[in-house]
Amino acid sequence: MNRELLEEKLAELPLYVYHFLTPQELDFTDRVRWICQNECPMYNKSWACPPAVGTVNYCKAKCRMYENCLLISSIQEVRDIADIEETLSTRPEHEALTNQVGDILRELGVEPYILSTESCTVCERCAWLDGKPCRYPEKMHPCVESHGINILPVIEELGLTFQYGENVVTWFSLLFY
Ligand code: SF4
């Protein structure tokens, strides 16, 4: 895969930052899974979330099958970051960007495994709730945390932050290839 070409194309997108790393640099931990299980209302409600995505060990092995990982981040300013509705309304733009990056990787000849933000919202009611297979596996991206990934150490090492300003929303995605 031609990284130079990839970087040329990434530079055309409104990404705040992108960074290449290896899956081995990511911290997979059951502590993150504990938070999903105990604090997230989406636990056991979607194919994009635990337990449907598999154990943390399974997710770790899956991600580590790939040689490379591309981290992308976008930021958006909102009037009031405490307004969850307004904050979440910035998510589709980041998801669209993530899909664009996925398409670029495909154009360059690799099929990425994509982890993005929050739970999947493609269908009104997730097929998981009815014991049926995911309707759009090609569109569905589990969130980074669903795989037990603690993204904080990587972000800190890169000198990045979750909070660029009082009312700035920061989104991250990981594309393994
Ligand atoms: S695409 Fe539909 S069925 Fe698949 S995870 Fe998303 S909401 Fe569920």
Ligand 1 and 127: CB distance under 6 A? yes
User: How many other C-beta atoms are found inside a 10 Å radius of the C-beta of residue 177?
Assistant: 19
Secondary structure (3-state) at 75 = strand
Report the domain count for the chain. Answer: 1
Sheet of 113-115: strand order equals 17-21, 69-77, 168-176, 113-115
What pLDDT does residue 24 have? Answer: 96
Range of the domain at 70: 3-176
Could you tell me the distance, in angstroms and rounded to a whole number, from the CA of residue 126 to the centre of ligand 1? 5
Kindly state the tokens that stand for 148.
């037990």
Say if ligand 1 is within 6 A of residue 123 CB. yes
This prediction has a pTM of: 0.93
Residues β-bridged to residue 21: 69
**pLDDT for 110 beyond 70:** yes
pLDDT digits (tens, 9 = 90+) for 61-103: 999 999 999 999 999 888 888 888 898 888 999 999 999 999 9
pLDDT confidence band for 160 (50 / 70 / 90): confident
Would you say the CB of residue 108 lies under 6 angstroms from ligand 1? no
